[in-house]
């Protein structure tokens, strides 16, 4: 039933082996192996981002007191490093979502027997795949007892179902509001574009 939609999923990867399988057909061992693989990738990505940030600081420090030509050259290097950092940060965030998804699936599998005796099991076997995935990346079930796991799952799935249909409407509203402000002269074009930029969104997120 479930056709998992995973960001940056590689062809013929682990995800392809179970993307159409129902939850009760997934194997804990395979999920745990993928959990470890993602954790290692996330740690490597974190180190790469930190390295790029240090390089940016070095280039910035080199520009203090330098002549104009040197500053222009360093500015281009810093912009390039900043672009690389943003791309790696986006990849890091995508991998982190994958990790949360798999990690929470492991917990669900561990409590599968207990969950099958609750109305919640029927809920996750009938919920659309996109809502199932989106809900699981927005909760952390690690280390929780069964009762707390069930409470967390019920809460996040109820929120997800309620919010799923309004996401596109909120995006459209933001665009219309921004355009209206620009046309009314209360916001300039550049400022309006910045409110919708990926870079601005990344700055708001905690990694």
The whole-number pLDDT of residue 74 equals 92
42-46, 53-57, 133-137: least confidently modelled range: 133-137
The whole-number pLDDT of residue 158 equals 73
Residue with tokens 């940030």: 53
Residue 94 tokens read as 């995508």
The whole-number pLDDT of residue 195 equals 63
pLDDT in tens, 152-175: 888 887 765 555 445 445 655 676
By the 10 Å C-beta count (0-12 exposed, 13-18 middle, 19+ buried), 129 is classed as: middle
Determine phi and psi for 10, rounding to 5 degrees.
-80, 150
Q: Closest Cα partner for 84 from 63, 56, 61, 59?
A: 56
The pTM score is 0.66
Contact at 8 Å (CB) between 18 and 109?
no
Determine phi and psi for 12, rounding to 5 degrees.
60, 30
Residues 44-63 have a mean pLDDT of 91
pLDDT in tens, 101-119: 999 999 999 999 999 999 8
In which band, very low, low, confident or very high, does the pLDDT at 124 lie, cut at 50, 70 and 90? confident
Contact at 8 Å (CB) between 9 and 52?
no
What is the domain partition of the chain in residue ranges?
Answer: 14-117
pLDDT of 137 over the 80 cut: yes
């Amino acid at each position: 039933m479930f056709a998992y939609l995973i960001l940056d999923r590689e062809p013929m990867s682990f995800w392809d082996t179970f993307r159409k399988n129902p939850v009760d057909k997934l194997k804990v061992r395979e999920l745990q192996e993928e959990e470890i693989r993602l954790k290692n990738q996330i740690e490597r990505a974190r180190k790469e981002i930190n390295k790029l940030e240090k390089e940016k600081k070095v280039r910035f420090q080199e520009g203090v007191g330098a002549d104009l030509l040197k500053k222009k050259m360093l500015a281009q290097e810093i912009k390039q490093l900043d672009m690389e950092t943003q791309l790696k940060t986006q990849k890091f965030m995508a991998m982190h979502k994958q990790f949360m998804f798999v990690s929470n699936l492991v917990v669900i599998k561990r409590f599968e027997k207990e969950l099958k005796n609750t109305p919640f099991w029927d809920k996750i076997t009938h919920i659309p795949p996109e809502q199932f995935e989106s809900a699981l990346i927005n909760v952390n079930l690690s280390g929780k007892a069964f009762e707390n796991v069930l409470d967390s799952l019920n809460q996040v799935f109820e929120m997800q179902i309620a919010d799923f249909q309004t996401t596109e409407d909120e995006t459209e509203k933001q665009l219309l509001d921004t355009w209206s402000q620009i046309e009314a002269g209360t916001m300039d074009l550049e400022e309006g574009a910045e409110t919708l930029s990926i870079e601005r969104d990344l700055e708001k997120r905690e990694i």
